[in-house]
């Protein structure tokens, strides 16, 4: 169980979540060419909350969801199959709120990304960030960026001009992108723990396993 939750946390961190409120509400399907033990399937973006639907390759675990409250800088994992939920420990929350998903200036995102990396202490491999220019992703207007690490690793990122968020990333290991984007207000129930769910205490379980 602990390992499963850690995998979900790492997976969401790959997509990244900004700590600022989103400018546009929408839903989208997530297509990922990476071979992960769990896969992001769908994302729902509210005014200041985001919900990620996650599917494990282990059918016994069932579907899960990660609900991120950007205003409060916290998130919870909802395990539908077990009718349980867990408040993420602070140590697991930090990577989520220090990533690069939400972009303030779509035409000049590099300074924001570099500053965020410095604040998160993840800039040791920072090399170069370059704006390539206007592009299109599945018919949506976007701005393409190229990153080059100190190790020579290259990646590309596309930022949606209207949504002000990253809708596609691509590197040597594969790509991840948002498709079938539907703009519009999202139901508040998506960002709440369903009634009757039991709280899972990760700290107590870890102490008992020692």
Q: What is the pTM of this model?
A: 0.77
The CATH number, out of the four listed (3.30.360.10, 2.40.160.40, 2.50.20.10, 3.40.228.10), of the domain defined by the range 2-208: 2.50.20.10
pLDDT tens, position by position, 54-73:
876 665 556 788 888 877 77
In the chain, where are the structural domains located? 2-208
Q: Please, which residues have CB within 8 angstroms of residue 158's CB and are 6 or more apart in sequence? A: 135, 137, 142, 143, 144, 145, 166, 167, 168, 169, 177
Return the structure tokens found at 80: 């539908």
pLDDT tens, position by position, 17-51:
333 344 589 999 988 887 665 577 899 998 888 89
């Amino acid at each position: 169980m602990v390992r499963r939750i850690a995998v979900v946390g790492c997976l969401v961190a790959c997509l990244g979540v900004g700590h600022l409120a989103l400018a546009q509400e929408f839903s989208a399907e997530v297509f990922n060419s990476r071979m992960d033990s769990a896969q992001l399937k769908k994302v729902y973006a509210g005014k200041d909350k985001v919900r990620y639907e996650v599917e494990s390759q282990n059918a016994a675990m069932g579907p899960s969801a990660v609900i991120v409250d950007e205003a409060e800088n916290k998130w919870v994992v909802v395990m539908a199959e077990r009718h349980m939920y867990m408040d993420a420990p602070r140590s697991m929350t930090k990577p989520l709120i220090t990533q690069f998903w939400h972009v303030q200036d779509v035409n000049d995102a590099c300074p924001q990304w570099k500053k965020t990396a410095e604040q998160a202490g993840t800039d040791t491999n920072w090399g170069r960030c370059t704006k390539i220019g206007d592009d299109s992703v599945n018919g949506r207007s976007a701005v393409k960026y190229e990153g080059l690490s100190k190790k020579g690793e290259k990646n590309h990122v596309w930022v949606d001009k209207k949504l002000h968020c990253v809708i596609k990333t691509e590197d040597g290991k594969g790509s991840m992108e948002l498709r079938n984007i539907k703009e519009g207000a999202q139901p508040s129930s998506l960002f709440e723990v369903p009634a009757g769910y039991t709280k899972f205490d990760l700290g107590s379980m870890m102490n008992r396993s020692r």
